Amino acid sequence: MKNKISDSVRIFTGISAAFLSVLFGICALTAYLTPSQIILNEQKNEFLGNNFPISLKFDRNTQTYPAFGDEQDIPQNNTTAEIMLFDSVPVKQVNVNVTQRKNVILGGTPFGIRIYTDGLVVSETSPVKTADGNKYPPNDAGIKSGDIIISVNGKKINTNEELISIVEKSNGHPIDITARNNGNEYFTKITPAFDSSLKKYRIGLMVRDSCAGIGTMTFIDPENGTFAGLGHGICDTKSGCLMPLQSGDIVDAEINSITKSVCGNPGALTGFFVDTSSKGIINSNSQSGIYGSMSEYDSNAQTIPVLFKQEIERGPAKILTTINGHTPKYYDITIEDISYNNMNMSKNMTIRITDPELIEKTGGIVQGMSGSPIIQHGQLAGAVTHVFVNDPTGGYGVFAENMIYFSSKSNNKTSLPNAG
C-alpha cells in the first residue's frame, strides 16, 4: 500500500513539475512577445485579443481589463498595469498611456528628400598607393566605416571639400580628428600619405556629407502640420550608418519608371523632383522614418483614424502607394505576422503583397515604396519599410503608433535604400 501511495505521489509531483515548467515557458514567451509600453484609447480597446489569452490588471484596482474588447472603465491617465495570462497569472508590469485616438491625413504620394549631415559619415576606407607601396592611414588611426568625423584640427567640419582641402595642404603632417563611433566620441590622429598616381596627399577615407532620393509620404498630422515618411531611417548605403541630420527638406516628386523586383535583386521606383522649392523641413532622421514640419498642406483634407498596435490583426489589408506619376492607388496585401518586440522599431509587421496588378508591374515591394501607408479596417495600421531580397512579394512594416510617437517627438525640437 505504501509503495502505491509513494508511486502516486511521484506521478503527481512529476505532472505538477511538468505543468509548472510549461506554464513558466508560456509566461516567459508571453513576456517576450508583448510590449512594455501600451497605449489605450479613452473609450474602448482590444488588448492583443487576436494573439494571446491575456488581459491587463491595473495597479490599485481589482478590475481586470479583458483582451477581447468588452466595455470597461479604465484609468483616464498614464499608469502602470500587470499583464495577466488567462486573467490570473501575472506575466510582467507595463506602462500604460491612455489617450485619444489620433486622426491623420493619409499619404501614399512620392516626395523628394534632401539631407545634409551633421559631420562626415565614413562610408568606406581604402589604401593609399604610395611610391613605397600601399599605406593604410585609417587603420593606423583606428577610423572605421560607419564612424562620424565631427571636427578636424579642432574645427567643426560638414563638407567633403573642407576635409579634402585640409588633407591636401597638410604636407604629410598628422591631422587631429574628433570622431564618433556608436555614439561614443573619440580623438585620434591620422597621417596623410602621398598618392603616387594622383600626386597629392590622401587619407584613404570615402566620406559623405549629404544624401538625396525619393520615398513615400505616410501621413500628415493636421493638428500641428508635422509629417512622417519612409518608415525607416536614411542610412549610408556602404556602411549602413544612420545619416546624422544637420538639416534637410522635402520637395514634390513624381514617379516615371519602374525596375521590377526579382528574387535576389530588389527593384526600384525611379522618379524626379518636380521642382526644387521646399515643401517642408526635416527635423529627424530616425530608425522608424523621417519626420518634420510641412510648410504647406491642405489642413481641411480628409483624415483617417490611427490603429493602436494591439488592434492590428493578421489578415487582409491594403497599401496606398504610387507607382506612376503622383497619384496613389490602393493594392491588396496580407499582414502575416505581428511583433511587439521593441528591439527593431521598423520591423513590427511581416506583410505579403497579394494584388495581382501590383505584382505584375513591380514584382512586389520595390525601393521607393517605403513609407506607403498600410490600411486595415479603414484605419492606418503602419507603413511599408523593407523588402525581402529573396522574396520581393514579402517584407516588413512599421506600426503607425511608433511613427506617431516619433513625429510628436520631432515636433518638439527647435530647429533618410531598404525599400526607400
Contact at 8 Å (CB) between 282 and 82? Answer: no
Q: How many residues does the chain have?
A: 420
What one-character-per-residue DSSP string does 335-373 give?
EEEE---TT-TT-SEEEEE--HHHHHHHSS--BT-TT-E
Residue 313's SS3 state is coil
**Catalytic residue at 355?**
yes
Residue where the block lists cell 579634402: 164
- Residue from 55, 118, 209, 232 carrying the catalytic annotation: 232
Contact at 8 Å (CB) between 114 and 136? Answer: no
What one-character-per-residue DSSP string does 108-136 give?
--EEEEEEEEEEEEEEEE--EEETTEEE-
- Residue from 286, 355, 372, 407 carrying the catalytic annotation: 355
**Catalytic residue at 370?**
yes
User: Which residue type is seen at 319?
Assistant: I
Contact at 8 Å (CB) between 211 and 120? Answer: no
**Catalytic residue at 232?**
yes
Contact at 8 Å (CB) between 204 and 126? Answer: yes
H helical segments located in 181-338:
none
Residue where the block lists cell 490611427: 306
Closest listed residue to residue 335, CA positions, set 375, 291, 281, 293: 375
Contact at 8 Å (CB) between 381 and 404? Answer: no
> Which residues are part of the catalytic machinery?
232, 355, 370
